[in-house]
Amino acid sequence: MEDLAAPTPRQRLLSPRAPVAVAAGLVVAAAVCGGIWRFSVKPAVEASVKIHAATMDMWALYDLQMARKRSVGVYANGLDALLATTKDGPALKARMAGYIDLNTAAVVGDADKFKVELNVLDEKRTLLKIKGPIGERLWTGKVAAPLPEASSSSDGLGAPVGR
């Protein structure tokens, strides 16, 4: 009988099956990466693009509300009433229909304030909303409490070092 010794690592690397095994590994790795892209990364990127476009259009609606307030004196109450204030209204509405649910879009306004709420047509139905005008609300939070007065106790706690 002949001696069947195990092949050395060098013999295994130079065997004709080694390139086939490397190619098979690359094919499996490409399939895994493609699956990750198709089912995880691609939907997240598409949702981010929709949310970004909807946010930009929400700010366009905000600017339209502010312009209407300056010209008419009150904010628009309704999406169609707001879009009627500009010549680009129908084009904006057609563009928004691609990534915003226009059936649930809410534009509510009166003489003092307004609100715009939009639902993005993504998997999570992301809600974007803004209340305005923003400029008057930036610094209207609570006023900080005054600092406590220094006590004049005789026990020496908190007394200046020089005494």
- Model pLDDT, residue 3: 66
Q: How far is CA 112 from CA 33, 69, 87, 116, in A?
A: 53, 9, 25, 14
- Model pLDDT, residue 40: 83
**For the chain, what is the mean pLDDT?**
83
| Whole-number Å distance between alpha carbons of 137 and 9 | 73
- Model pLDDT, residue 65: 93
Q: Calculate what percentage of the chain has a pLDDT beyond 70.
A: 80
- Can you say whether residue 111 is alpha, beta or left, with left for phi > 0 and alpha for psi between -120 and 50 degrees? alpha
- Model pLDDT, residue 59: 92
- Model pLDDT, residue 158: 56
Encode pLDDT of 136-151 as tens digits: 554 455 555 555 665 5
CB 134 within 8 A of CB 69: no
Q: What is the mean pLDDT of residues 93-98?
A: 94
Encode pLDDT of 3-49 as tens digits: 678 888 888 777 888 888 889 999 999 998 888 888 888 888 899 99
Please return the burial class of 66, using the count of CB atoms within 10 Å of its CB with bins 0-12, 13-18 and 19+: middle
Encode pLDDT of 48-60 as tens digits: 999 999 999 999 9
CB 100 within 8 A of CB 120: yes
Q: Is the pLDDT of residue 95 over 80?
A: yes
Q: Which residue has the higher pLDDT, 6 or 95?
A: 95
Q: Where are the alpha helices (DSSP H) in the chain?
A: 9-13, 17-36, 42-72, 79-83, 89-96
pLDDT class of 126 with cuts at 50, 70, 90:
very high
What type of residue is 82?
L
pTM exceeds cut of 0.85? no
| Chain centroid to CA 161 | 53
| Chain centroid to CA 113 | 25
3-state SS string over 31-68?
HHHHHHHHHHHHHHHHHHHHHHHHHHHHHHHHHHHHHH
